[in-house]
Amino acid sequence: MLNASVSPQPPTRFPDVPVYSGWCSPSRIEADIFELEVEGEVPAELNGRLYQLGPDPQLPNRLGDDVLFNGDGLMRMFTFADGHVDYRSRYVLTEKLKLERAARRSLFGAYRNPYTDDLTVRGKSGGTANTSAYFHNGKLLALKEDSLPVEMDPATLETIGLYDFDGAVTSKTVTAHPRTDPRTGEHFFFGYEAKGLATRDVAYYVADAHGKIIHETWFEGPYCGFMHDFVVTDDYVVFPFMPAVADLDRIKAGGKHWQWDPTKDTQFAIMPRYGTTEEIRYVSAPPRFAFHFFNAHNDGTTITIDGSIAEGFHSPYSYPDTLGNAFDPVASTPLVRRWTLDYAEGTFGEEVLLPECTEFPVIDDRFETGTNRVGFALVRGGGQTHPDVMHGPLGLNTIVRYDFEKSQVVSSYVLGATSSGQEAIFVPRYDGASEGDGYLLLLANRYDTMLNELIVLDAVKLEDGPIATVKLPFRVHFAFHGCWVPQYLSEG
């Protein structure tokens, strides 16, 4: 543990540690590229912008080591127009980045531990805005779950500033995984640690299609759990408390934000979509950990949730656990699992749908919060065994199309033995195309050349391989989440 009173000298170069090595080496490139090179043909009807956001440390962390989740947010934008593709990338100018650029050294310390920050920045926001590019109500937002959204100009990528829904959001945090109901345009989101570091408070908000907050519910969870994603259905909202937990005393002592604690149950706080605190019911389950869910739907009071779910925290980061157990790469591997919860009966059920290491589950967004049949995800294929799916050469080298009615993979494409993929984004072939009929945009990491290619796949026939391969002339850092914005929405 770090002695919080000691202010170490930040390293002047990126030290030789895993988080700054190999594919995770900082790229830090802010670029404008006119007319990227393309192999094959980009479909002319793909008109719009692909935004992707991920961490890319601007400076070596003052503590000499770091975690992947703590890099500064760098926004990327691919503009597609009539078969041509241009590129732009810009850092999100957070308070943290502005302070550190001014000082020309790192001032903020460990991931979500302000007690490890330089004394000169105590009380300033260490938010990195590095997790998810999200578009709602004409606004491009850079999201990070420990702070407020940062708004960026969707064409220039200039940082506009913190966005609190015109003062209506008083939670200190907003999730990187909001949900939108495409039928109403309503935008559902929450903040955990909503009243401050390691607090159990959760704030839940619904904004209408114009960004006006129309519903708000606050509650105190059973513990402060790592709630990265949540789900909304026609009638319910579900907040999963999973036992990677934050503890203020540990954080104050310079310890890690999250610690896996399998003595705690998973607990689901369920309430009606526009419910009140009094309407919350809890359902218990064995310890589980999930970063991401595909989607969820309900039939009466029965709620079905599909996700990329493990029996342990799928990062060695918070092991040994509170019982002294070491990281177990098998139990900690996220598989496609289905949870069935009942709001009225309080019951929990679970089944494994796909017994493969799977992450970055996505759907055709036109079915979000309703019933979806199709999902897409990255799978660790080809016998790769890298245990930590969130780090380095992930081994997530296969993109699959999963059919939830047939309960099977119906199409897939292997990127290659020396490649992995970043989160895929689905784009419908045309307005009104049936579910899952369209294109997948996927950024491939090529370890043989240490370069990236953006590939365009037919989402129905993945095995046909890329329709087009768009080449980047340099390597970019690993991004987490992105979105597709059709041309008519992103142009001001």
List of residues contacting ligand V55 (CB under 6 A): 55, 69, 130-131, 145, 228, 291, 480
Please answer whether residues 132 and 177 qualify as being in contact, where contact means their C-beta atoms are separated by less than 8 angstroms.
Answer: yes
**Cβ closest to ligand V55, residue 66 vs residue 145:** 145
CB of 24 to ligand V55, least distance (A): 12
Closest separation in Å from C-beta 23 to ligand V55: 15
Residue with smaller CB distance to ligand V55, 257 or 273:
257
User: Which of 146, 142, 149, 277 minimizes the C-alpha distance to 218?
Assistant: 277
Q: At closest approach, how far in Å is the CB of 346 from ligand V55?
A: 29
| Structure tokens that stand for 70 in this block | 């703590």
Least Å from the CB of residue 252 to ligand V55? 20
Residue whose CB is less far from ligand V55, 190 or 343? 190
Query: In the complex, what is the shortest distance from the CB of residue 244 to ligand V55, in angstroms, rounded to a whole number?
Result: 10
Tokens encoding 353 = 């749908």
C-beta nearest to ligand V55: residue: 69
Q: What is the dihedral of CA 359, 256, 100, 8, to 10 degrees?
A: -140
CB of 55 to ligand V55, least distance (A): 5
A 10 A CB-CB count for 193 gives 23
CB of 375 vs ligand V55, minimal distance in Å: 17
CB of 131 to ligand V55, least distance (A): 4
Q: Are 236 and 303 in contact (CB under 8 A)?
A: yes
Compute the least distance from the CB of residue 128 to ligand V55, in Å: 7
Comparison of 413 and 480: residue with beta carbon closer to ligand V55: 480
Decide whether 241 or 480 has the Cβ nearer to ligand V55. 480
Q: Which is nearer to ligand V55, 303 or 424 (CB)?
A: 424
Count Cβ atoms below 10 Å from residue 406 Cβ, excluding itself: 9
Cβ 390 to ligand V55 shortest distance, Å? 7
Nearer CB in complex with ligand V55: 125/131: 131
Distance of alpha carbon 72 from alpha carbon 74, whole angstroms: 6
Task: Please say which residue, 206 or 231, places its beta carbon nearer to ligand V55.
Answer: 231
Task: Classify 137 in phi/psi space as left (phi over 0), alpha (psi -120 to 50) or beta.
Answer: left
Q: Which is nearer to ligand V55, 27 or 79 (CB)?
A: 27
Cβ 480 to ligand V55 shortest distance, Å: 5
Nearer to ligand V55, 69 or 165 (CB): 69
Residue 276 CB coordination number (10 Å): 12
**Nearest distance in Å: CB 434, ligand V55:** 30
Considering beta carbons, is residue 228 or 288 the nearer one to ligand V55?
Answer: 228
* Residue number with CB closer to ligand V55 (80 or 291): 291
Please state the closest distance from residue 417 (CB atom) to ligand V55, in A: 25
What is the distance in angstroms between the CA of the first residue and the CA of the last residue of the chain?
Answer: 49
Is 116 within 8 Å of 128 (Cβ atoms)?
Answer: no
- If the CB atoms of residues 163 and 480 are measured against ligand V55, the closer one turns out to be 480
